[in-house]
Structure 1
Amino acid sequence: MARYFSRSLLAILCQASLGTSVLLGAVGVVQAQDIKFNADILDLKDRGNIDLSQFTQKGFILPGTYELAIKLNNQTLPVRPVVFLAPDDDPKDSKACLPPELVEQLGLTDTALKGLTWWHEGQCLDVASLKGMEVRGDLNTNTLTLNIPQAYLEYSSANWDPPSRWEEGIPGILLDYNVNAQTQRQNSNDNRQNNTMSGNGVVGANMGSWRLRASWQTRISHQTGSGKPSERFFDWTQYTAHRAIVPLRAKLTLGEDFLNSDIFDSFRFTGGSLVSDDNMLPPNLRGYAPEVSGVARSNAKVLISQQGRVIKEVLVAAGPFRIQDLDSAVSGALDVRVEEADGSVQRFQVDTATIPYLTRPGQLRFKLATGRPSDWKHQVNGPVFATGEFSWGVSNGWSLYGGGLGSDNYGALSVGLGRDLMAFGALSADVTQSRARLPQQGTLKGGSYRLSYSKRFEQTGSQVTFAGYRFSDNRFMSMADYLSAKDDQTGVAPRRGKEMYTLSLNQQFASLGLSAHLSYNHQTYWNQDPTDRYNLSLARYFDIGRFRNVSLSLTAYRNNFNNSKDDGMYLSLSMPWGNSGSVSYSGSYTSGTNSHAVSYFNRVGDADSYQLRAGMTGNYADLSGYYSHRGSLAQIDGSASVLGGQYSSVGLSMSGGATLTPQGGALHRNGILGGTRMLIDTDGVAGVPVGGYGSSVYSNLFGKAVVADVSSYYRNSVRIDVDKLADNAQATNSVMQGTLTEGAIGYRHFEVVEGYKAIAVLRLADGSVPPFGATVLNAKRQEVGMVNDAGNAYLSGLKGGENLSVHWNNQEQCRVTLPPEIPRNMGSTLLLLCVKG
């Protein structure tokens, strides 16, 4: 309010002065820097006691140091100290000093950097050396606005910044976790009850650009009435240290890792790798993260793992699910386990795929790794190996790629060619030859051949996310096959792949309001039964009478894994009910069992939702409930199921973390375990709602909050939800942006003023009043009010007993001490004595 009054006063004075100059011929001239006001038009009791010095120069800021947010072409950069200095040629003026370290973050092109000139002994940028650049400071909003012509800036997009603006964040410690607890009771004669608790998480530390991470997982199970002891284990599954090598657009990893390759099959090893990171590229040049989809027959827990390491564990409601927030660095075969409420388990595998290995003309992408293969018990098991691969943009549309992997008694070479077919998509083909020497079988030489394709058809609404075919002959061995075979008495590796077909397709039928998603994976082996997985989803939105946005969806799937077939179909009809709820009917057929149910879903605010379900499964009544809460401290999901005469089950899942830094810390809900996050400082004010793209989190008692739903190398916005802000608090700036490197802990400080509002009369020691236009600042040098006629002032953000300073003539003149209690009644007036400090 105080700052709004200041801006309003300036506008009124300018308008009044200009208007009077026309009507009365008075002096009211607006020049390039100076503004003159005709104060005779103001209805003041004391026309001689006026101080408008802060308005007499356009954009003038008194020389000094200010904490300002940098706003570059409408993008808000972090708050930093900005020095305003008087230039040598005009001591009455002031200019913002842009030091070299700030200029480096602006993302100027090499050509623009070479033409820069400096002043103040080379410490401040001469703005005139960038033609068209504008610099403007505003203490009302605590921002320094920089407008730079786009021709001087490196490539950027709506959500992506050039590397010069990436932030490594601040040092800190983090502890992320995901814990699940379930109780399931079978209604049988022995009345047994199964109790399980499982969890996984990451402990980490950030030091400069290094990210130290240790992953863990645990499981405790107990069956009452069985006489068996409880089963429990806790394992540290992976230790890594990684950092970004920005000049190379690559990620350096040391420790235990999985081979990240677009050519060779993945396996676990201990060593080091240097890999071009696609996440550092603009979004339209990146790959895609794998996703896992399926159908839960009841409230269930979905556990995704790779070679024994748990990657994701989440509680889902009955019906179709799609898990799309996996790390894009995950590659290879993923093991999926769906644990149903009745104790039954679905198992299948998802083979992640990569888009064709294409690179822009003139660019080189690479992946290097060396070390020794290891298992999940941290024991190395195999010879030292080294691998390298590359993709080179030969010309516009063509890419040449290949690589090699070698160790004692094993080697593989690969070469491939990729082509951007423009309107017809992207295609790549490669050949890999392997040579393995085994004690049991001698030397084996074989080949593997692969074809990959992807395309988005804008006109037809189609997207072939990935389509691939691979054939490996009987004597071909991947590194993983070789490691398994050399330790086997027969010298034969299990699950040696033969053929693999992969397809992921999305189709939109706009005229019908219909969308379709198809995923298909078929894998055959030389020494094992084939596996198949089909998943088809259809969804249509339409209107029926007064019911709008009615949804009809159908999901059908088939899993054939380990010679066990699992077919299912799920049909759902849903319609809105009330402001935020919906009512739906669902019918399913899974493994010979039919079920029908009616459910009600609703949201409570923007952080809570629940679902109630009632129906029949076979000949038994089926009742279940599901509740989800996205809180500031954790995300909590709970479920309960009862199948009459068969079983009852209760489950609870909690996901969150703790982040501690020198700037403070907070408990918080989680995104990717060990991932990127932003620490928010609300100036010590508790209960301030802040957020990124999900529901808001609230600052704790120390004025700190952590926003975990931020992406690496992506321009993220964090904001204060001013609609939920308490009446006694106000924020100078409610939105900030930033781009963080992978695993970084970003830091943003929001200037929040908390306190009461009051009308006051200020008096000086001699009984006079401060001049009209004098400003009132708090201890943080935040403006809380302005003096108007007769010493009256409307003040905000007041706290009992605090000291305020009153400024005019561009300096502090006196101080005011507030009473211990601020009257809550706006009708009362505070009488305040302003004395010399």
Structure 2
Amino acid sequence: MYGLFTLRDCAVARAMLCTGLMSIAGGVWAAEDIQFNTDILDLNDRTNIDLSQFSRSGFILPGTYLMQVQINTQSQPEQRIAFYPPDDDPKGSQACVSAELVEQLGLKKDQLTQLTWWKGGECLDSSSLSGMEVSGDLSTSTLRISIPHAYLEYSAQNWDPPSRWDEGVPGLLLDYNLTAQSISQRNTVSRNNLSGNGTFGANAGPWRLRADWQGRIDDENIRREQRLEWNRFYAYRALPSIQARLMVGENYLYSDLFDSFRFTGFALSSDDNQLPPNLRGYAPEVVGVAKTNAKVTISQQGRVLYETLVAAGPFRIQDLNDAVSGSLDVRVEEQDGTVNSFTVESSSIPYLTRPGTVRYKLASGRPSDLHDGGQGSVFGSGEFSWGVSNGWSLYGGGLSDSNYTALSLGVGRDLLAFGALSFDVSRARTTVQDESLSGSSYRLSYSKRFEEYDSQVSFAGYRFSEKDYVSMSEYLNARHYGKPVGGSKSLYTATLNKHFRDAGLSAYVTYTDQSFWDLPSSKRWNLSLARSFNMGSVKNMNVSLNMFRNQERNQRTGTQNNNTGMFLSLSMPLGRSGSLSTSASSSHNKNMYSARFSDQLGERSHYQLSADNTSVGGYLSHVADHADLSLSASLKENNYTSLGMSARGGATLTPYGGAGHRSSGVGGTRLMVDTSGVPGVPVRGYGRTTSSNAFGKAVVPDVNSYLRTAASVDLENLPANVEATQSVTQLTLTEGAIGYRTLDVIAGHKAMAVLLLPDGSVPPFGGTVKNEKQQETGIVNDGGSVYLSGIRPGEKMVVSWGGVERCTLVMPVNLPADGLATTLDLRCQMLMPDNAAPASASRIRITNTEITPS
């Protein structure tokens, strides 16, 4: 008879029991029987003891146990592990490593063919892998598996091989990002607008179904304009066996060789996110300066990718998706109604591939416009990158429809200490507006991390295009709108980070220069300098300088819009957590001087108060359980007022329940944690904690796809009547998955109790008490005393010893208000005869001096 056991750390009684037994049985071989000298234990009745689970050192009674699996110190979710007597030792016990568990080990294919099995092919013979060790530990409910790294596909911290990935559970989701602004001036203009974007989604097995939306309502005096549109409908899934991602529906062509455009069709591409972290790609970032509390909108070809409220001063947005590539349109709307727009080029780093592997991207469909529908004929595209050797990569690809063809070929070189370099040539030929055009484009890319100088060139690149070279997006625009064909001449981009640690100085520089054959060029550069220092008794002062120049070509008129500015700030700590700063800025030929004070309001809220030569304002942000909220307000001279609000959050529904939550990325990966139905339990991911709702559900939104994620109960902030017997869970989720895990949490009163059997005796020392959820709530001490947790009025609990449930307890309906100050006397109603014993357990002969299996 095999039972299912769950072992947990439980209060003082378990610690005392384990310590005492270790002193009794120390130094005995694992395979030998243990004789316990019970005189060491301070007990009144040494004849009434249940120590069957400790009768052999290292021995685990045959059965099935719920244990956490640990593979080379990396913890995996709890699983049911069976222990069987091995063929050569009928009295022994050995963990059965099943075929399902072997899949989670991440072994190389060569090692999989060498495996041998026992118990009819059900369990792995660990001796078939030299150096592999498997051991169980009941005190921590852990199965430890040690495997030489040479047998594993790849080993990296916080990364698991595909065999351990979790596709999550079925569910529905809604993520949103809403921003409202109101700007008014007495007797003149009043402007109000509400904008938002987000994603509806559904998960079914490995498939992710998504629908992206965006909308805006503009109200200016008596005129109102409103628009709500669906960006795209699409579905995708991961293909772990080929480290790829399949997407069908409305999509954007994300290419490392060609420009991006919208289309309807399918795309199959290698997914860098499925690789270990140090082999992944590069994500773009956007930097700029806001004169006031402003709204920043980042879009691409009309589709909003990111929208947020920022406080006055420099901003840096770094949490864009690393799948984004090409030109990004950035719009900064100030509270005084002025708008500053610029373009950011998010090119990728040099195209290099691991030796012996091939990365690829395939796509086919029909180009489409966000507002006008179909735009071109059916096209096909494909590109690849082949890691020829440790130093060289060869890459290329093609893109074609009925009137357009482009081919590209390039080579990448790892220069080791000198960085990485790639060079490619693209050739395009097209017929549009009754004209045949053919030209070439050349691109050079470079990246280098200078560890010895604590600096990094994140990306530096140059691209030159001949006058008759036409990109796919230029061809589509000319065909659909009748715009001029081609025009792009050259593009320089560079990003540099540098830290001067001895001087406490850091520098960040970005530069973009794009020229055209027949139109004015566009340039943009940004320089940020920051230094920390101490002055007398004032510590951690900071001075920063941000300078920028934008020279942008107006897409409609073709004219130049120039804007040069700077922002100088000096800040110092004030109070326990506050900061006071003064700044001077210049932009659009206007100078501004301001002072700001910012501080925390608890752990979840942050505020900023500001004043300048013409206005006063405030900014407040709050991290709530269900959304990230922000509020900004300002008052300018001549009764000019502005108010802004934003909310960013989501809701997730699964067959196990639902919850509202914060959102770190629309439509992204998330983890639902079930706190055993207990409300108000604080749960932490990698960000702020969130409390479980009335149904005991909480959603952790800050989850990275394909990286091991941990969620835990915040033990320091648990309510007084709640106890977590399992406080941490770990898993690795695929992209867009809704993970689901349960943490073992007990809610209820705590009290000392004395258990009595019907004949007046007491349960044996070492017996366990469990509630109706099979959660262990106590362990029997000397004289039937037990420390009970999770007591609910009128609830039943079961007392077990010898591996069998023996009797039931009924908790009092009226519990004492003084809790631990009162000892409960509880009668235990027998479930079966006292002399019953499990068929698979050894009977115990008890004397005054020893316990031995008989």
CA distance in 1, matches of 2:767, 2:780: 5
Post-superposition shift, 1:133?
3.4
Give the residue type in structure 2 aligned to 1:543: N
Rounded Cα–Cα distance in structure 1 between residues aligned with 2:561 and 2:633: 29
Residue 710 of structure 1: how far off its partner (Å): 1.1
Which residue of 188, 196, 203 corresponds with 1:191?
A: 188
- State how far apart, in whole Å, the 2-side matches of 1:184 and 1:140 are: 64
Q: Deviations over 1:755-789 (max 9, x none)?
A: 22111011000111111222212222222212222
Look up the match of 2:757.
764
Structure 2 residue corresponding to 1:810, chosen from 782, 803, 806: 803
What residue in structure 1 maps to residue 251 of structure 2? 257
| Residues 89 and 361 of structure 1: CA distance in aligned 2, closer, same or farther (over 3 Å) | closer
Residue 380 of structure 1 deviates from its aligned partner by: 1.6
Out of 7, 14, 23, the residue aligned to residue 6 of structure 1 is 14
1:121 equivalenced with 2:120 (yes/no): yes
| Matched residue, 2:848 | none
Structure 2: distance between partners of 1:92 and 1:317:
70
- Contact 1:167–1:740 (CA<8 Å) still a contact in 2? yes
Residue 73 and residue 734 in structure 1: after superposition, are their counterparts in 2 closer, same or farther (change >3 A)? farther
CA distance in 2, matches of 1:94, 1:661: 40
Tell me which residue corresponds to 2:198. 201
**What's the counterpart of residue 507 of structure 1?**
498
Output the amino acid matched with 1:472. Answer: S
**CA deviation after TM superposition for structure 1 residue 11, in Å:** 1.5
Matched, 1:148 2:143: no
What letter is aligned with 2:201? G
Aligned equivalents of 1:196, 1:819: Cα separation in 2 = 59
Deviations 1:332-378 (A, max 9, x none): 11111111111111111111111011112211111111111101137
Change (3 A) 1:108 1:824: farther
Amino acid of the structure 2 residue aligned with 1:755: G
- Partners of 1:779 and 1:93 lie apart in 2 by 33
Please give the per-residue CA displacement for 1:125-176, whole angstroms capped at 9, x wherever unaligned: 2333334434344555444333333333221211222222222111111110
For the 8 Å contact 2:754–2:785, the answer to whether it is kept is yes
Task: With the length of structure 2 as denominator, give the TM-score of the two structures.
Answer: 0.93
> Unpaired runs of 5+ in structure 2?
1-8, 555-559, 832-854
- SS of structure 2 residue aligned to 1:459: helix
Deviations 1:215-253 (A, max 9, x none): 0001111123xx32x211110111111111112211111
Match of 1:568 in 2: 565
- CA apart distance, 1:29: 4.7
Partner in structure 1 of residue 436 of structure 2: 443
Q: Say if 1:101 and 1:183 are closer, same or farther in 2 by CA, change over 3 A.
A: same
How much does 1:579 deviate? 2.7
Counterpart amino acid of 1:292? V
Equivalent in 212, 215, 219 of residue 209 of structure 2: 212
Q: Which amino acid aligns with 1:552?
A: V
Counterpart code for 2:485: A
Change (3 A) 1:100 1:529: same
Q: Which amino acid aligns with 1:50?
A: I
Q: Distance in 2 between matches of 1:706 and 1:382?
A: 43
Residue by residue over 1:385-439, the C-alpha shift from the partner in whole angstroms, topping out at 9 and shown as x without a partner, is: 1111111111221111111111111101111111110011111111111101123
Are the aligned partners of 1:758 and 1:823 in contact in 2 as well (CA < 8 Å)? no
Distance 1:554 1:609 in 2: 23
Residue matched to 1:738 = 731
* TM-fit CA distance, 1:586: 1.6
More divergent stretch after superposition (631-640 vs 777-786) = 777-786
Cα distance, 1:823 vs structure 2: 2.4
Match of 2:485 among 481, 487, 493: 493
2-structure distance, mates of 1:579, 1:487? 61
2:620 counterpart residue number: 627
Residue in 2 aligned with 1:25? none
Q: Whole-Å Cα distance in 1 between the matches of residues 71 and 808 of structure 2?
A: 36
Pairing 1:395–2:393 present: no
Conservation of the 8 A alpha-carbon contact between 1:62 and 1:810: no
Q: Give the drift of 1:178.
A: 0.4
- In the alignment, which residue of structure 2 is the partner of 1:309? 303
Deviates further, 818-827 or 57-66:
57-66
1:395 counterpart SS class: coil
Indicate the larger mover: 37-46 or 528-537. 37-46
- Distance in 1 of aligned mates of 2:389 and 2:24: 65
State the Cα deviation string for residues 442-470 of structure 1 (Å, max 9, x = none): 21111111111000000011100000111
Q: Evaluate the alpha carbon distance shift between residue 151 and residue 7 of structure 1 in structure 2; reply closer, same or farther with a 3 A threshold.
A: farther
Work out which of the residue numbers 679, 692, 696 in structure 1 matches 2:685.
Answer: 692
Shift of 1:711: 1.0
**How far apart are residue 819 of structure 1 and its match?**
0.9
8 Å contact 1:142–1:732 — kept in the other structure?
A: no
> 1: CA distance between counterparts of 2:176 and 2:25?
63
CA distance in 2, matches of 1:577, 1:131: 62
Once the two structures are superposed, residues 314-343 of structure 1 have per-residue CA deviations (whole angstroms, 9 ceiling, x without a partner) of: 011000001111111111111111111111
* Cα displacement (A) at 1:833: 0.4
- Secondary structure at the aligned position of 2:828 is classed as strand
* Percent identity (aligned): 55
Contact conserved, 2:28 with 2:57, CA < 8 A, in 1? no
827-836 or 370-379, larger mean C-alpha shift: 370-379
Determine whether 1:555 maps to 2:546: yes
C-alpha deviation, 1:64, in angstroms: 4.0
Q: C-alpha distance in 1, partners of 2:747/2:84?
A: 31
* Change in CA separation of 1:158 and 1:724 when aligned onto 2, cut-off 3 Å: same
Which AA in structure 2 matches 1:608?
Answer: S
Q: What residue identity is the alignment partner of 1:70?
A: V
Give SS of 2:474's match.
Answer: helix
Structure 2 residue aligned with 1:292? 286
Task: Give the letter aligned to residue 377 of structure 1.
Answer: H
State the distance in 2 between where 1:344 and 1:210 align.
43
Q: Distance in 2 between matches of 1:205 and 1:211?
A: 6
User: 1:304-703 maps to which residues of 2 (within 5 A)?
Assistant: 304-377=298-371, 379-440=373-434, 442-489=435-482, 492-493=484-485, 496-561=487-552, 562=554, 563-616=560-613, 620=614, 622-645=615-638, 647-703=640-696
**Contact 2:30/2:59 (8 A) holds in 1:** no
- 1:75 paired residue number: 74
Specify the code of the residue in structure 1 equivalent to 2:114: G
Deviates more, 1:687-696 or 1:817-826: 817-826
Aligned to 1:10, the other structure's residue is in SS state helix
**2 CA distance for matches of 1:68 and 1:664?**
26
* Structure 1: distance between partners of 2:729 and 2:293: 39
SS at match of 1:377: coil
Name the SS for the 2:762 alignment partner. Answer: coil
The 8 Å contact of residues 441 and 469 in structure 2, kept in 1 or not, is answered as: yes
> CA–CA distance in 2 between the matches of 1:612 and 1:32?
71
Partner Cα distance (1:201, 1:296) in 2: 24
Local SS of the residue matching 1:330: coil
Q: Deviations over 1:608-646 (max 9, x none)?
A: 111111232xxx2x2111111111101111111112226
> How many Å apart are 1:701 and its aligned residue?
1.2
On the 8 A contact 1:14/1:37 being kept in 2, the answer is no
Once the two structures are overlaid, the 10-residue window that deviates more, 278-287 or 206-215, is: 278-287
Deviation at 1:256, TM superposition (A): 0.9
Alignment partner of 1:7: what SS? helix
Question: Distance between the aligned counterparts of 1:655 and 1:161, measured in 2?
Answer: 31
Counterpart of 1:46?
45
Say which SS state the counterpart of residue 279 (structure 1) adopts. Answer: helix
Q: Which moved more, 1:679-688 or 1:499-508?
A: 679-688
The alpha-carbon distance between structure 1 residues 455 and 573, as it changes in their structure 2 partners (threshold 3 A), is same
Shift in Å, 1:747: 1.8
Q: How does 1:237-248 map to 2 (within 5 A)?
A: 237-248=231-242
Query: Is residue 106 of structure 1 aligned with residue 105 of structure 2?
Result: yes
More divergent stretch after superposition (448-457 vs 770-779): 770-779
The 2-side partners of 1:35 and 1:664 are apart by 48
Q: What is the letter of the counterpart of residue 52 of structure 1?
A: L
Q: Distance in 2 between matches of 1:31 and 1:808?
A: 23
Q: TM-score, normalised by structure 1?
A: 0.94
Which amino acid in 2 is paired with 1:584? Answer: S
Once the two structures are superposed, the pairs formed by residues 702-713 of structure 1 within 5 Å of their partners are 702-713=695-706
Label 1:523 to 1:360 Cα distance change in 2 as closer, same or farther (>3 A).
same
